[in-house]
Chain A
C-alpha cells in the first residue's frame, strides 16, 4: 500500500511523520510528570513506526501512471477495517460497562476500569472510532464515484485517516488514565483537539479539491451531507473545545466558558454532534449506498433539497432541549423545543425519501440482508427523530430527562440508525473494493443482521421501561403528600432492565464480531476480476447507475 506512493509522496510522508515524532518527543519531555507524557510517547512511537514503514519501501519502484486511471481506494479499505475493529472494541467496552451496573465490582478494584472512565471509552470508540472511520472511508469512496474523479493526491487521505485514528487512540487511552474534559462527546483534551482540528481542515481540503476536479456538473446529494458533516463539525469542535491548558506540560485544561454559558455551548455541541456527525454524515452514506444497492433512483430530488437545508438550519437551534427546567433562561429552552418539533419535517423527509426509494425493490429487501440493514436504518432514523422531537417537549422531558429513556433514545439512533446504515454500506462496499463477487458468507451477514435486530430491540425496550419507570417513581407522591420512593428504591427497580440491556448489548456486539470475521475472510479469499464493475473508473463514461443522476 505504501509502495503505491510516488517518490515525492514518500518524502513528504517522511517529513510529516518526522514532525509527529518530534511533537511526540516534546510532549513526552514536557509532560513527564503527567499523563501527557504517556500520550507524547504514543505519538512519538506512532511517528517512528510510520517512518520505518515508509523507509521499508522507500527504494521500491514507483507506481506506474496507470494508477491515475483508477480511483484511489486504499485509504477506504483501511478505514473500513479500522471501523470494524473499533466497533468490536467499543461494543465490547459498552457491554462491559452495562454489566457493571448489574455487578458493580466488575472494576477489579482499579481506577482505569471504573464506570466513569470506561463509559467515555465506549462512547468515543463507537461514535468516533467506528462511526468516524466509517464516514471517512465511505465519504472518500462516494466522493470519487459521484465526481468521477480520483482523489487529488495520495498523501492527504492517509494524513486524515491515520491522524484521525491517532486522535481516537489518544482519546481512548486518555480516559483509562483519567484524561478528560468531562464535556460529553468532547472529552479529549486540548492537544488531541488540536490534532483533530488540523486533520479536519485537511479533510475539507480533500473534499474541495476533488469536487473541483469533478466530471459531473452537479454535486450529488450525498456530498452535500458529507460537506455539512465536515464543515459544521469543524465549527462545533472549535468553539466547544476552547480551553486554557494548565501548562504545556499538563494534559489538563480549563474550559473557556463556565456555568450556564458552558452548559449551553456544550449542548449546542452535543446535540449537533448527533446532528452533523451522526446524522448528516450517515445520511450522505445512505443517499449513495441505499439507491445503488437497491438499483433504484432516489425517490424525490426536491425532498432531498428540503430535508438537507431543513436539517442544516434547524438542528443548530435544538441543543437547549437538553436543559429544560434548568438554570438556562427560559427563552432559550422554548426556542430549543420549538425547533426540535419543526425538525421532524426534514427528518421524516429524509426517512420517507429513503423508504420510498425502496418501492419496487422490496423483493430485494427480503432477500438481501445488506439492503435490509439499510432499510432498518431508515426506519429507525424515522422512529428516533420522532422520539427525539417528542422528548424535546418540556413536559415530556421533565419525565424523561436524567433517566434511561435518554440512553434508550440514543441507542435507538446509534444502533438502529448509525450502526445499521454503516454495516449495510460496509457489506455493500467490501466486495466492490476488493473485487470479490460477494461476501465470504451471505449466511453470516444474515446472522449479523438478526443478532443486531434482536440486540437493538432488547436494548431499546429495556431502556424505555427502566427510564419511564424510574422517572415516574421519582415523582410519585403518597396520600400524605410526601415522596413515595427513596432514590435507592428506584435503583433497585432498575435491576432486571439493566440485565436485559446488557444481554441486548451482547447480541449486538456478537453481530459485529461476526461481521469483522466475515469481512476478513472475504478479503482473504481469492479475488475474481468482476466484469460488471469494470466501469468503476474515473473520467466520464456512460454508466447505468441511476443514483448518480442529478434528478431533474
Chain B
C-alpha cells in the first residue's frame, strides 16, 4: 500500500517525523484562531465601552487570585433559559478589555456576567464575609479576610501600563494617577474622587464599597469590580432592544 509504504520510510527518519508532527498539529489552530484577529465582525463595535478603573483592576486581580472563575462563569449563552435567568446574552465586545478573559467553564455558583447593580454593596460585603448569612444553603467559601486586608494600590500605575502594552487604551494621565484614582474611588466628596469621574466618566461608582471610607481594602476593590460586571457597555441591552423591535 502506497501510504503505508511511505510511512514505513518516514518512521525511520527522526527529523522528518518531527516536522510532520508539527505541520499536522499546526493547521487546526492556524485556521481557527488567526481569522479571529483579522475578521472585523468577530468583536462588535461599541463606542460607549469604557475601560476598568484602577480599583476595579485591583478587584479583578483579587477575583483571579481567589480563583472565583472556577465556580462562576461570565458568559451567558444564547439559550432562552440563560437569558431569562441571567439577562441578555454576552457579546464578544463586553470582554474586549479582559486580559485574560474570565468566561469560566463551570457554574457551581451562578453566572455573574450581569451581576453589576443587582445587589447592594452591603449585600456583597455580607455575602463575601460569610455567604451563609444571606444565602443559608450556599456552598461558597467565606472571604472575611478581604475586609481586614488593605488593597495594594501603590503599583497600579505599572498594572495599567502593562495593560496598555497588550492593547487596552489607558491614557498617560490614567496611568500617572492610577494609585490616586484607586484611593479616590472609595472616598467620595474629595478632590481624589473628582479625578476618577473626570477620567472614567460620570457613571463610575464612587463610594465606600465596604462601608468604611478611607484607605481601600481588598473588599472595596472586589465589590467595586463585581458592581461593574456587565456595565462597561450597553451593547448587550441595545442588541436585545433592536432584536425585539424587528
- Which A residues are within 8 Å of any B CB, using their own CB? 100-102, 104-105, 107, 109-111, 114-117, 119-120, 175, 178-184, 208, 211-212, 217-219, 224, 227-228, 231-232, 235, 239, 243-247, 250, 252-266, 268, 276, 302, 305, 309, 312-320, 322-329, 332, 335-336, 339, 398, 401-403, 406-407, 474-475, 477, 482-483, 487-488, 491-492, 498, 550
Main SS at interface, chain A:
helix
| Cβ contacts under 8 Å, A180 to chain B | 64-65, 67
Instruction: For the complex formed, measure the closest distance between the CB of A244 and the CB atoms of chain B, giving whole angstroms.
Output: 5
B75 located at the interface, meaning its Cβ lies under 8 Å from any Cβ of chain A in the complex: yes
- Residue contacts A-B, CB under 8 angstroms, 18 given: A100-B139, A114-B67, A208-B14, A208-B15, A219-B17, A231-B25, A246-B158, A250-B158, A256-B166, A258-B97, A260-B43, A325-B79, A327-B89, A329-B39, A332-B32, A402-B107, A487-B109, A491-B137
Residue of B nearest to A239 (CB): B29
Task: State which of B21, B73, B91, B135 has its C-beta within 8 Å of the C-beta of A402.
Answer: B73
Distance A179 CA – B61 CA, assembled complex (angstroms): 10
Distance A483 CA – B131 CA, assembled complex (angstroms): 24
Q: State which of B4-12, B188-196, B201-209 sits at the interface with chain A.
A: B4-12
Whether A208 pairs with B4 at a CB distance below 8 angstroms is: no
Instruction: For the complex formed, measure the closest distance between the CB of B54 and the CB atoms of chain A, giving whole angstroms.
Output: 13
Residue of A nearest to B77 (CB): A325
Whether A322 pairs with B105 at a CB distance below 8 angstroms is: yes
Which 7 interchain pairs have the tightest Cβ spacing? Answer: A116-B67, A316-B28, A178-B65, A317-B28, A325-B77, A259-B95, A255-B100
Instruction: For the complex formed, measure the closest distance between the CB of B76 and the CB atoms of chain A, giving whole angstroms.
Output: 9
Instruction: For the complex formed, measure the closest distance between the CB of A376 and the CB atoms of chain B, giving whole angstroms.
Output: 27
Whether A398 pairs with B79 at a CB distance below 8 angstroms is: yes
B215 located at the interface, meaning its Cβ lies under 8 Å from any Cβ of chain A in the complex: no
Distance A265 CA – B159 CA, assembled complex (angstroms): 23
Residue of B nearest to A319 (CB): B32
Instruction: For the complex formed, measure the closest distance between the CB of A496 and the CB atoms of chain B, giving whole angstroms.
Output: 13
Distance A68 CA – B28 CA, assembled complex (angstroms): 43
Whether A115 pairs with B162 at a CB distance below 8 angstroms is: no
B102-140 vs A, Cβ < 8 Å mask (1 yes, 0 no): 111111111100000000000000000001100101111
| Cβ contacts under 8 Å, B31 to chain A | 317, 335
The size class of the interface chain B forms with chain A is: 35 or more
Whether B25 pairs with A316 at a CB distance below 8 angstroms is: yes
Task: State which of A101, A111, A184 has its C-beta within 8 Å of the C-beta of B145.
Answer: A111
Distance A492 CA – B108 CA, assembled complex (angstroms): 11
Whether A305 pairs with B4 at a CB distance below 8 angstroms is: yes
* Given A114-B66, A208-B14, A305-B7: A262 in contact with B32 (beta carbons within 8 A): no
Q: Which of A102, A107, A115 has the most CB of B within 10 A?
A: A115
Residue of B nearest to A326 (CB): B75
Whether A316 pairs with B29 at a CB distance below 8 angstroms is: yes
| Cβ contacts under 8 Å, B68 to chain A | 116
Instruction: For the complex formed, measure the closest distance between the CB of A439 and the CB atoms of chain B, giving whole angstroms.
Output: 34
| Cβ contacts under 8 Å, A255 to chain B | 99-100, 166
Whether A228 pairs with B78 at a CB distance below 8 angstroms is: no
Distance A182 CA – B165 CA, assembled complex (angstroms): 20
Residue of A nearest to B106 (CB): A402
Task: State which of B18, B82, B102 has its C-beta within 8 Å of the C-beta of A182.
Answer: B102
Instruction: For the complex formed, measure the closest distance between the CB of B129 and the CB atoms of chain A, giving whole angstroms.
Output: 10
Whether A119 pairs with B79 at a CB distance below 8 angstroms is: no
Task: State which of B71, B77, B97 has its C-beta within 8 Å of the C-beta of A116.
Answer: B71
B168-192 vs A, Cβ < 8 Å mask (1 yes, 0 no): 1000000000000000000000000
Instruction: For the complex formed, measure the closest distance between the CB of B56 and the CB atoms of chain A, giving whole angstroms.
Output: 14
Distance A448 CA – B33 CA, assembled complex (angstroms): 43
Task: State which of A100, A111, A276, A324 has its C-beta within 8 Å of the C-beta of B66.
Answer: A111
| Cβ contacts under 8 Å, B26 to chain A | 235, 316
Distance A71 CA – B103 CA, assembled complex (angstroms): 48
B142 located at the interface, meaning its Cβ lies under 8 Å from any Cβ of chain A in the complex: yes
* Given A224-B17, A406-B105, A487-B110: A244 in contact with B165 (beta carbons within 8 A): yes
Instruction: For the complex formed, measure the closest distance between the CB of B110 and the CB atoms of chain A, giving whole angstroms.
Output: 4
| Cβ contacts under 8 Å, A217 to chain B | 12
Whether A327 pairs with B100 at a CB distance below 8 angstroms is: no
Distance A263 CA – B36 CA, assembled complex (angstroms): 11
